[in-house]
Amino acid sequence: MTATDAFALELKDLRKSFGKTEIIRGVNLAVRHGERVAIIGPNGAGKSTLFNLISGRFGASSGDVLLNGTAINGMKPYEINRLGLSRSFQITNIFPKLSVFENLRCSVLWSLGYKYTFFKFLANLDDANARATELLKMVNLEKKHDVLAVNLTYAEQRALEIGITIGGGANVILLDEPTAGMSKSETTRFIALIRQVTEGKTLLTVEHDMGVVFGLADKIAVIVYGEVIAFDTPDAVRANPRVQEAYLGSAVADAQAGGH
Amino acid sequence: MSNQKQRSPLNVGRWVTWSLFAVVLLVAPMVFTSGLGLTVLSQMGIAIIACLSYNMLLGQGGMLSFGHAVYTGLGAFLAIHALNAVSSGDLPIPVSAVPIVGGLAGMGFAALLGYVTTRKAGTTFAMITMGMGELVFAMSLMIPEFFGGEGGVSGNRVIGKAFLGITYGPPIQVYYLIAVYTFIAVALMFAFTRTPLGRMLNAVRDNPERVEFVGYNTQRVRYTAFIIAGFFAGISGGLGALNFEIVTAEVVHAARSGAYLLFTFLGGATFFFGPIIGAVLMVLAFVLFSEFTKAWLLYLGLIFLFMVMYAPGGFASLIMMNLRVAAFGKLRQLWLSYLGLAITGLIALAGAAAMIEMTYHLQLSSSQGSEIVFMGVTLNTTGVGHWLAAAVVMLIGSGLFEMVRRRFAREWEEIQAYIEKKTNGEDAQ
């Protein structure tokens, strides 16, 4: 399978500099349809920057990003989103003064073709309302239907964030540290939720919790100083001496000792 | 928690609300029958449309515009020119449709100028709108052919044959035209808040970055909303042109823009009906309060100051908070405190107002003698005793007010805690 559109997402020699500092230094990565990829690496390795480049938040200095074979570098975030790529944020990024239901409904409107419509009532958009209700169930927030997003607990806000991310029906989902700041039990439940709602989709996630990484991912990409030093199955990455030397080491041992 | 169940009782409430609104518009001139009453009512209708259109930007879109008078004002100018064209027979439209011309003009200018302003949000947006406002005002002095110079442009709305007896000669007929426009415009602007664009506008206000990642171009959302707001602003301007039959450059002046901002804020930008309250207060302040005292702008400034400090949600939020308390059956507990606040507040205000009036008298009209009559009391502006007495009244009033306020704050907090507990309890079930 060498054809480009065999891949859901492909990065070709992607580079990004801030001033004179090169943060992303020639990243190549090809993710197949339906694969779950965890991106790991030490703090400051460029994981979030990579997500920002892919999703159009920043423009790349050079290189290409291909989404289902289409070059998307230089596009605006909303253009990329319309092509079927959606992302969540490390810092919770929701609509605080709208209700939970409204938050989710906002995330589905574009994909259902409502665009900038102002001659239809939201209440009459049966498909949008059904989809938002379905999302509400998926992220287990049915009881919070009318609660303002700002009044949710942290874990609920993270769940809402996931709901907004998958709302538009994107096929490629980027989750930036979805479980950051959660307790152990919350994390376990949350990973199950992520598995469920991203079923059949291509998933890229930045994650620090090694237990989560090895439990969730089909493949792991290890980034160190803006370069992908390994991209393989969890077992292969675990065995990779270069990875162990550069980054994993004790973290892998911990995950294994933790009953993995 | 089915949606259907929630919706139906709400719809009844809404139906009642809108009927009441229509009835108020209908009977208001029968209650306030004087010429002044009718003038005030007509201006209120015009102001309501203007403030609501402004709040489409401020409250719903988080766009702090300092130049909304550009769109009401240019709408007014185009409308008065249209009226004159109708008079001369060049424009075959009825006089009743002249405000629509204003609306289209407001929309056109919003499309033109908004293309620049709405590319940015936040402070930059605010600054650019201010610049646009200054630009248009400067232009109004430079192009007397269109803006009529210092005298403005005047027109005559009583033209052509009477249609069903409507000539727009008597002010009452103009009032009802304004009332019809007001009702429709308010209904349409309310409907807008229930549409996909209206909701995405709220989302842009809350978190523009996130909006870009659910497929929407925030600039386009702001721009489209800006054009719609411009249309309603222009309608308001057009009605103003018909009402006054003269349009001068002051309609595009920054002071007008500032008034829209301040009174929309005062009424309450976070609720749809807030700007309606604001508009009513605006007309009362400008038409009635300004007759009452020369220091009216000072009082207005003080009111704004206190509102921003203590009730940033405006009057609408005060009303909603008390309705919430009432819904939990706790409003009765507060009436004594409210009475106390009102009485002590009035005492403090009387003292302060006496000093303000004396100061204004000294500064502006001391040639007419040193005595003024304030609330039935003759005060001597040169007498130390009267100044001292006013100061004492103010200080005592303030002291008492503070005492009552503390008591009130305690009660208020208890009630809020009670409501919080109740609602959380329901959540858990």
More confident residue, B230 or A90: B230
174-203 of B, contacting A, C-beta below 8 A: 191-192, 194-200, 202-203
- For B330-366, the pLDDT digits (tens) are 888 888 899 999 999 999 999 999 999 888 888 887 7
Q: What is the mean pLDDT of residues B200-226?
A: 96
β-strand A62-67 against A7-18: which pairing, if any? antiparallel
Q: What is the mean pLDDT of residues B250-278?
A: 95
pLDDT score of B427:
53
pLDDT score of B386:
87
pLDDT score of B116:
92
Contact criterion met (CB below 8 Å) for B88 and B254: no
pLDDT score of B2:
40
Lowest mean pLDDT among A95-104, A203-212, B19-28, B61-70: A203-212
Q: In whole numbers, what is the pLDDT of chain B averaged over residues? A: 90
Answer whether B195 sits within 8 Å of A117, measured CB to CB. yes
pLDDT score of B7:
46
Give the distance from residue A133's alpha carbon to the nearest chain B alpha carbon, in angstroms: 10
In chain A, which residue's Cα lies nearest the Cα of B198? A118
Give the Å distances, CA to CA, from A95 to A63, A161, B30, B163: 33, 10, 46, 51
Q: What is the mean pLDDT of residues B381-389?
A: 86
Give the distance from residue B210's alpha carbon to the nearest chain A alpha carbon, in angstroms: 6
SS3 for chain B, per residue? CCHHHHHHHHHHHHHHHHHHHHHHHHHHHHHCCCHHHHHHHHHHHHHHHHHHHHHHHHHHHCCCCCCCHHHHHHHHHHHHHHHHHHHCCCCCCCHHHHHHHHHHHHHHHHHHHHHHHCCCCHHHHHHHHHHHHHHHHHHHHHCHHHHCHHHCEECCCCCCCCECCECCCCHHHHHHHHHHHHHHHHHHHHHHCCCHHHHHHHHHHHCHHHHHCCCCCHHHHHHHHHHHHHHHHHHHHHHHHHHHCEECHHHHCHHHHHHHHHHHHHHCCCCCCHHHHHHHHHHHHHHHHHHHCCCHHHHHHHHHHHHHHHCCCHHHHHHHHHHHHHHCCCHHHHHHHHHHHHHHHHHHHHHHHHHHHHHHHHHHCHHHCCEEEECCEEEECCCHHHHHHHHHHHHHHHHHHHHHHHHHHHHHHHHHHHHHHHHHHHHHC
B7 inside 8 A of chain A by CB: yes
pLDDT score of A103:
97
Give the Å distances, CA to CA, from B325 to A58, B309, B332, B420: 48, 22, 9, 11
pLDDT score of A5:
61
Residue B426's pLDDT band, with cuts at 50, 70 and 90, is low
Is A260 a residue whose pLDDT tops 50? no
Residues ≥6 apart with Cβ < 8 Å to B124: none
3-class SS of residue A113: coil
Give the Å distances, CA to CA, from B147 to A134, B79, B329, B421: 57, 12, 56, 60
- For A132-165, the pLDDT digits (tens) are 999 999 999 999 999 999 999 999 999 999 999 9
pLDDT score of A6:
76
- The single residue listed with the structure tokens 């305690």 is B410
Residue A259's pLDDT band, with cuts at 50, 70 and 90, is very low
Instruction: Retrieve residue B195's tokens.
Output: 């549409």
Count CB pairs under 8 A between chains A and B: 104
Is B85 a residue whose pLDDT tops 90? yes
Is B68 a residue whose pLDDT tops 90? yes
Return the H-helix or E-strand segment holding A221. Answer: strand A219-224
pLDDT score of B264:
96
Phi first, then psi, for residue A64 (nearest 5°) are -125, 145
B30 inside 8 A of chain A by CB: no
Is B71 a residue whose pLDDT tops 90? yes
List the single residue in A95, A128, A167 with the smallest CB-CB distance to B206.
A95
Q: What is the mean pLDDT of residues B271-293?
A: 92
Answer whether B200 sits within 8 Å of A94, measured CB to CB. no
List the single residue in B195, B211, B221 with the smallest CB-CB distance to A122.
B195
Query: To the nearest whole percent, how much of chain B has pLDDT over 90?
Result: 68
Give the distance from residue B10's alpha carbon to the nearest chain A alpha carbon, in angstroms: 13
A160 inside 8 A of chain B by CB: no
pLDDT score of B150:
86
- The single residue listed with the structure tokens 């997003």 is A149
Class of domain A1-77+208-260: alpha beta
pLDDT score of A85:
96
Q: What is the mean pLDDT of residues A72-76?
A: 92
- For B14-35, the pLDDT digits (tens) are 889 999 999 999 999 999 988 8
A94 inside 8 A of chain B by CB: yes
Q: What is the mean pLDDT of residues A3-7?
A: 65
Q: Alpha-carbon distance B236 to B317, whole Å?
A: 25
- To probe the interface with B, which of A76, A81, A95 has the most B CB atoms within 10 Å? A95
B224 inside 8 A of chain A by CB: yes
Answer whether A168 sits within 8 Å of B215, measured CB to CB. yes
Instruction: Retrieve residue B192's tokens.
Output: 């807008």
Buried b (16+ CB within 10 A) or exposed e, B215-226: bbbbbbbbbbbb
- For B159-187, the pLDDT digits (tens) are 866 677 788 888 899 999 999 999 999 99
- For A196-234, the pLDDT digits (tens) are 899 999 999 998 888 888 888 999 999 988 999 999 999
Residue B39's pLDDT band, with cuts at 50, 70 and 90, is very high
Is B429 a residue whose pLDDT tops 50? no
Looking at chain A, how many residues does it have? 260
